[in-house]
Amino acid sequence: MRINLVALLIYISTSLCVQAQDTNQLTLEVYEGKYATVNAFILSNGKSVVVLDALRKSDETKGLIEKALSKNLPITHLFISHGHTDHFTGMWRFRDQLPDTQIIVANENIRKDIKSYAIYMNNGGETEGEPALEKPLIPIEIDPKGFDYENTIALLNSYQFEIPGGGSLEVMTDFLPAEQDHMTVLYSKDLNALFLFDLAYNNIHPWLGDDISYDDVANWRTELKRIQERFADKDPIVYPGHGKPGDLSMLAELDKYLDDYVKVTKGASTKKQAYDEMIKRYPSYTERDFFLKWSLINHMRDKPDQLKSS
Ligand SMILES: [Zn+2]
């Protein structure tokens, strides 16, 4: 009887162990960038490492690469989600330091977005508050020592990304133009993790600057509702491009924010008035003097900056 019990315990603990290995193969680490509060992610299956996004300042990317290297596994891919500098700037450091790491995007549209945003930033961009495009990212057509977008960035062109050594990510790109014209969303079944990148912001004023029109804002709200419906039964952990991970309620809050933002910017008579109102409604949100400020400059071009003193 006693022997049987021991045998049973051994059997249970062994099978639990095997099960744990089977289901928990994939691990995830969030790497929080300081500038623009932008996230990068390090995925590992114990055999290889995949990095998602590359941060806004390549100096910070050094730390990201160090962290990825600390796994002592080959870093097979750097996957870039979309064409904004806060997500792709550090990719030149991967190219230089890790020449065997494949830089990859979901499709041609995203590669084109990346290159044209780099050219736009190289021409000054609209947000003088941001640092200039880093020199190694100047397209080679302009500076031969710069970046060869077509030959350095590979295209996935698939709805599934297989992580070398095990595990996969579902790849979604069928979104209306919103925060950027083309966006990638990744879903890991193993981790029940939904990487929404810049379709989601958590407790941070979303970027509505540059060329993000009111139509894009309306599209964005449509997509937020669609994603909530699609993933409601899975109740995934949501990883935003900016801010801490959370759950799907983050999307409802962002939807409300976007609704408020349109009403406030259309109703306010000065940028300052709109700024104060958004801060009053969202007091805990960060990046007010970067993201919110430049969003208001974009949507309230014809309105004065300051309230007239009465
Ligand atoms: Zn971003």
- pLDDT per residue over 97-126, tens digit each? 999 999 999 999 999 999 999 999 998 876
- Residue whose C-alpha is closest to residue 273's, from 309, 245, 229: 309
Query: What average pLDDT score do residues 241-246 get?
Result: 98
Ligand 1: centre distance to CA 71 (Å): 26
The pLDDT of residue 16 is above 60 = no
Structural domain contains residue 74: yes
CA distance between the termini of the chain = 90
Structural domain contains residue 282: no
Query: What average pLDDT score do residues 72-97 get?
Result: 98
Measured from the Cβ of residue 288, the count of other Cβ atoms closer than 10 Å reads 15
| 139-140-143 Cα angle (round to 5) | 95
Ligand 1: centre distance to CA 50 (Å): 19
The pLDDT of residue 63 is above 70 = yes
Measured from the Cβ of residue 41, the count of other Cβ atoms closer than 10 Å reads 21
Asked if 271 and 303 count as a contact pair (C-beta separation under 8 A), the reply is yes
Ligand 1: centre distance to CA 128 (Å): 17
Structural domain contains residue 14: no
Asked if 255 and 224 count as a contact pair (C-beta separation under 8 A), the reply is yes
Asked if 39 and 55 count as a contact pair (C-beta separation under 8 A), the reply is no
The pLDDT of residue 22 is above 60 = no
Q: Which residue has the higher pLDDT, 114 or 16?
A: 114
Structural domain contains residue 17: no
CA distance 39 to 21: 27
Ligand 1: centre distance to CA 278 (Å): 20
Ligand 1: centre distance to CA 17 (Å): 39
Give 144-177 pLDDT, tens digit per residue: 999 999 999 999 999 999 999 999 999 999 999 9
Ligand 1: centre distance to CA 146 (Å): 23
Ligand 1: centre distance to CA 203 (Å): 14
pLDDT of residue 128: 67
Q: List the domain range (segments joined by +) for residue 39.
A: 26-248
Structural domain contains residue 173: yes
Structural domain contains residue 291: no
- Residue whose C-alpha is closest to residue 55's, from 29, 81, 76, 75: 81
Q: How many domains does the chain contain in total?
A: 1
Ligand 1: centre distance to CA 276 (Å): 23
Average predicted confidence (pLDDT) for the chain: 91
Ligand 1: centre distance to CA 255 (Å): 17
pLDDT of residue 308: 41
pLDDT of residue 303: 87
Ligand 1: centre distance to CA 100 (Å): 26
pLDDT of residue 20: 38
Structural domain contains residue 265: no
pLDDT of residue 211: 81
- Residue whose C-alpha is closest to residue 290's, from 185, 209, 187: 209
The pLDDT of residue 207 is above 50 = yes
Query: What average pLDDT score do residues 75-91 get?
Result: 97
CATH of the domain at 34: 3.60.15.10
Structural domain contains residue 2: no
Ligand 1: centre distance to CA 62 (Å): 19
Ligand 1: centre distance to CA 244 (Å): 13
* Stretch among 14-28, 193-207, 281-295 having the lowest mean pLDDT: 14-28
